[in-house]
Structure 1
């Protein structure tokens, strides 16, 4: 794939208003979702398919035209070029595309990358100005990435699966392909960071996203608790723990509340607040009997009116008739012109950001013309732009200019979604100013952690707060006062970005809403991470991540076969983690593309529903209502976790290729399984699971993993947070930072050209008040378009 020397390299920095040129080499979900985001935003994404087409084209379930719902959802608005990378002609076709591309999305494992000449060093040698985003199972250089990226395996090895499900049953993967989507958001973020660095330095970069790292990053709270309490938390399921899912007359409701709200919950159920705090164990049967008599939405409405963040489990049928979704136009007609198109709108709303919801490409519809069109476009090689500003680093050696150096962020975020978004921007060089009230600081400052005494107000902080706020500056502004609002407006006039995740309506009352701040700074990028969006009949509702598990439809497709819905639980709160990755990526996109004066309205509920687009399409076209399927997924069989001889030890197996099934057959039951067709494996999943379970129960988990790996079968141990901390890769790739005495979350991916320094400690309340407010030039030179 070597190109002539005169065609190599150069800065590909293009007009910020021009569409990016993206080449996608994907077989798995994660890279496809990343490409879908770029295609939806109006960029030119060319999907390079093998002869015969992408396997997802014909992966069941299929629409009436024989196209898989997953393909029509994940590959909408892309173009298709057929390129057989095992031939010289195919590699030449790809090389011509890459000669003029801005971005390569790939999920090739190391063996396939070597065979096709697409290793990271080779790409950087031939196309030094190209930005490459690799989204694989375990990293671009890890042999485990020779197997397709799989959310179940990632969640098992990353420790997330050990937190999902009932404590006395098998670990679960979240419904759909959640870690793949979260990895796509991370890849999108990394792509924008790398493009910003290219614009300044004239060089491309390689962003390396591993699904198992992303799963571990999502489960950061378990790692903190393991460090503090010296014991790993485990799954609490839906029937134990402080929050529970109970039956309503027509479905399920999740009771989500804080300890001090037990009186409100008792008032909801009995009509009056008790004289003394109720005993939870005595009250749960009372709550269950009361809820069983009422419709789920009635319970939800009554609870929300009292200020309780209760949510009902919405199935995909509920969502399509939901008044909030209807008012915001979230759904699209699934059929257009005889084809099935993406059934949902954008994952976020913003005036000025386009979004396409068209059909997927026909095989080869881009044809040779796509490569020729790009080839005849003149190469643009402007001088690299100068970098401005410095990042707030902790200790350590000098680092290259950070991608977000010179960007100033006002972080009004709290708890996880907003605060974690600010942390991500700070990690990559932005100056992030955390704004709090002295009377009502971020509740995470004193968030309890098992095994640790409560934090002291204004002094010690919870390690939960530390993880989400490291590397920031801290100021106190009382926004209920005129002086506080004036100070905020002065900061906003010099800032580039504002982040908030308040309940809708709060920022307007505080004079911190988009319209008010845009009046003092028309170029602001303003990110709102709300529960259900900035408008609509339910915009002001309260929620936690577990509420959104339910309301988004995710819980309805997570769980054991034949059972009720399952959430990610208070210990994980998956929607918060996904929203922070997506929020940071969307901010970075606007900064990289020169989009200013924009209000980014991210409904966390809609974002998680968006990850279920293929299931929504299936329901809209066929009427089939998806239900929990345990760990089984389309496109892979067997695909589940199996008990080992060790107590409470499990191993996951996920076969997506015939060769893997044959290898597994020879290992566990050659007489019964060898030589069976793919269809036989699908039709006899229960029997296959029985045979595999018998084999795994006779061996330790370590023996199972060793034998499966040597046979070439995709597998992963189900690790707890305590076991995960002993895996060298998570330390080496800096998914977590610190040692046994101090622990905080690290970074969700690596970049070959930039390694974030360990961030400075989270600020004490108002720590940087004088520095930030007294110096009119503190925020530095504002970003220029």
Structure 2
């Protein structure tokens, strides 16, 4: 790991998103200085959140004017600033980003706010509920006839943190070329909208307005087991395995082996499955299902996560002897050679003088020639990077799409016999059969594969493996999300790839990591909702766990941010020749680190609580006058509640703070009565004018009408609808991506000239050399 760079990061944050982003830098070995006011960051009031997200940072008490100063400020020697201030708040603190950009031209600034730095919501402070409501993700979570839900555990905040890390590494890589820093603008609501891209595809195809499907109905369901809950998840061709698993002769009734009859009689056989599952233990049922190749998952709660053998074997869950109340109880969701220990504590306030001593002071910014300034400022950060994409569906394919978006040459490698399953994805309203290899690709395929080059190789043949090995020798990065063991059979495993190219960055995005007793298990996104613990903290109070559902598959989306960020960190920091082992399950479980810490130290079991969150009330979604139309309110201060009482006069205006906490049901009922008499947008406008944090719960149809998402390029039309970009780099505007590659003929002959053309003219073994 010689030559690896450590970046110096200043964090000025109050939110989970900002703190989580800083924590990710620490987990990769970078030096993070948390700058706090004399009273400390507000997250210190949330003991276990601060222990999880403050770990490994240094703390300095610095006034804003000290940060804004040129010579004495830690920003003068920092590489990155992370901030979550709105534009007005930043200006009031003397931390206006454009002014800082002039003073510290090499500084990369990462802004993490709920709604971005421009637009009518720019000054609105919000949390994951408001971001997921405004972004439209909440519309997809929950039961179809009940209120929309935010995902448990501040998911938009954590997802935005991964995006912030990715953006920072892109900007740092560009700085090496241009001498200039950049502003990375991440809006939590944009990230939420980006993750709900499937709804946009369906709506654009005339499929109506997608809504939440729930976990108690539909083709996949969460059913009660003897001691918990299990997700029954399977593809149509796996019905015989389902029959074998449950062993009830009623599932072999005449006609149920036919897909169409089975669909018409779904309630008949679902009742049988529910009865059979109720007599089985959840983990036993999950284990037996996996043995049969069924991607079931059990709904892991905090107790099960902290004792899970797979998570303990991988070191994600720390053993009891290594746990301290002021440290995280789980590690980062990856195995990265050279990364620091997970047992470091969160800092005491002001325990550091605020200086950076590691490494030399950054050199002064180079000023590009005037004639070439535009070219320098808009350089693609990953230009020259060659990525071999063996990814499929979303987790792997979306990771490499993110790399392609920012300049990498990405070669998607498939075979005629086993193309990416998303090519043949059955769309609602289409025939219930997969498309053939020569049929037009499903519209779902385009969003995860636009901007890539395509190559068809049969890796079961000696010739196909030989071509793959030639590509590996010339590539910088390889991305794969196969089930563990598949790459070895195909001759593209890490050991083989490392022997062929010792500098290759090899990214594995497997379900549960590349080692451990459950490493060979398979999963869908809904499986990971359950196994990660996310479903156990999402849902209506006292009811079954709730997943993000097959129409969202949130775990797949967030894992793509993790994968892209790790690749960008590796190529920017100089981590050569490494195997980045990411567990998709752990990536989601990491977002619940504070709740797991609270369980370990207090015994409190995290459980679904609707949209309510500690320290905020009212905090929920409420019905409005239009059918199935909702708005979200998130009051986090006494001022918010006073403003709410001025609008909804049936609420008390002068009750003490604990009254609101002790009467949440009454408050929510009163708000619902008021909102139900008003149209959504008029109610939101009235609440916002009074100073109440409120947003509409948007749908895919709302996003299609709102120019914001096209202006910010979270959605594209090229000319069909296409997933856009999860952030804005102020110094680089990525072009609209080229169409996704067609599935071509197998590469029977790929000479050196054709290989050079495929690699985009790269004529050196690796651009990392």
TM range (shorter): over 0.9
How far is the alpha carbon of 1:259 from its aligned partner?
A: 1.8
1:524-560 CA distance string (max 9 Å, x none): 1000000011011110001000000001111000000
Is 1:101 the equivalent of 2:87? no
1:371 to 342, 355, 367: 355
How far is the alpha carbon of 1:635 from its aligned partner?
A: 2.6
2:337 is paired with a residue whose SS is: coil
Is 1:711 the equivalent of 2:690? yes
1:529 is paired with a residue whose SS is: strand
Are the equivalent residues in 2 in contact too, given 1:257–1:308 (CA < 8 A)? yes
Are the equivalent residues in 1 in contact too, given 2:60–2:349 (CA < 8 A)? yes
Deviates more, 1:401-410 or 1:39-48: 39-48
Take 1:434 and 1:385, find their aligned partners in 2: how far apart are those partners? 35
How far is the alpha carbon of 1:44 from its aligned partner?
A: 1.5
1:764 to 739, 742, 752: 742
| Residue matched to 2:183 | 206
Is 1:340 the equivalent of 2:323? no
2:596 to 602, 607, 616: 616
How far is the alpha carbon of 1:134 from its aligned partner?
A: 0.3
Are the equivalent residues in 1 in contact too, given 2:648–2:674 (CA < 8 A)? yes
Is 1:562 the equivalent of 2:542? yes
2:165 is paired with a residue whose SS is: helix
Are the equivalent residues in 1 in contact too, given 2:248–2:276 (CA < 8 A)? no
Is 1:241 the equivalent of 2:218? yes
Take 2:234 and 2:567, find their aligned partners in 1: how far apart are those partners? 31
| Residue matched to 1:421 | 399
| Residue matched to 2:410 | 432
Is 1:19 the equivalent of 2:6? yes
How far is the alpha carbon of 1:634 from its aligned partner?
A: 1.8
| Residue matched to 2:372 | none
1:559 is paired with a residue whose SS is: coil
Q: TM-score, normalised by structure 2?
A: 0.93
Take 1:79 and 1:182, find their aligned partners in 2: how far apart are those partners? 23
1:743 to 721, 724, 730: 721
Take 1:676 and 1:48, find their aligned partners in 2: how far apart are those partners? 35
| Residue matched to 1:468 | 448
How far is the alpha carbon of 1:93 from its aligned partner?
A: 9.3
1:572 to 552, 560, 563: 552
Are the equivalent residues in 1 in contact too, given 2:115–2:187 (CA < 8 A)? yes
Deviates more, 1:90-99 or 1:548-557: 90-99
Are the equivalent residues in 1 in contact too, given 2:67–2:73 (CA < 8 A)? no
| Residue matched to 1:151 | 128
Take 2:68 and 2:732, find their aligned partners in 1: how far apart are those partners? 29
1:164 to 108, 123, 141: 141
Is 1:216 the equivalent of 2:200? no
Is 1:187 the equivalent of 2:174? no
Is 1:516 the equivalent of 2:500? no
Take 1:768 and 1:196, find their aligned partners in 2: how far apart are those partners? 35
How far is the alpha carbon of 1:161 from its aligned partner?
A: 0.5
Are the equivalent residues in 2 in contact too, given 1:334–1:621 (CA < 8 A)? no
Are the equivalent residues in 2 in contact too, given 1:485–1:511 (CA < 8 A)? yes
Take 1:383 and 1:720, find their aligned partners in 2: how far apart are those partners? 46
Take 1:170 and 1:489, find their aligned partners in 2: how far apart are those partners? 52
How far is the alpha carbon of 1:452 from its aligned partner?
A: 4.8
| Residue matched to 1:10 | none
| Residue matched to 1:55 | 42
Is 1:257 the equivalent of 2:257? no
| Residue matched to 2:297 | 311
Take 2:62 and 2:674, find their aligned partners in 1: how far apart are those partners? 41
| Residue matched to 2:317 | 331
Structure 1 unaligned segments of length 5 or more: list them. 1-14, 60-67, 387-396
Deviates more, 1:659-668 or 1:577-586: 659-668
Are the equivalent residues in 2 in contact too, given 1:304–1:310 (CA < 8 A)? yes
How far is the alpha carbon of 1:603 from its aligned partner?
A: 0.5
| Residue matched to 1:197 | 174
How far is the alpha carbon of 1:58 from its aligned partner?
A: 1.3
Take 2:510 and 2:531, find their aligned partners in 1: how far apart are those partners? 13
2:756 is paired with a residue whose SS is: coil
Is 1:665 the equivalent of 2:645? yes
1:144 is paired with a residue whose SS is: coil
Distance 1:440 1:415, change over 3 A: same
How far is the alpha carbon of 1:727 from its aligned partner?
A: 1.1
2:659 is paired with a residue whose SS is: helix
Are the equivalent residues in 2 in contact too, given 1:640–1:652 (CA < 8 A)? yes
How far is the alpha carbon of 1:90 from its aligned partner?
A: 6.6
Distance 1:613 1:372, change over 3 A: closer
How far is the alpha carbon of 1:333 from its aligned partner?
A: 5.2
Are the equivalent residues in 1 in contact too, given 2:126–2:634 (CA < 8 A)? no
2:716 is paired with a residue whose SS is: strand
Are the equivalent residues in 2 in contact too, given 1:328–1:536 (CA < 8 A)? yes
Structure 2 unaligned segments of length 5 or more: list them. 370-374
How far is the alpha carbon of 1:760 from its aligned partner?
A: 0.5
Distance 1:377 1:784, change over 3 A: closer
1:603-655 CA distance string (max 9 Å, x none): 00011111100000001111111110110112321110111122211110011
Distance 1:772 1:290, change over 3 A: farther
Take 1:327 and 1:757, find their aligned partners in 2: how far apart are those partners? 44
1:655 to 627, 635, 651: 635
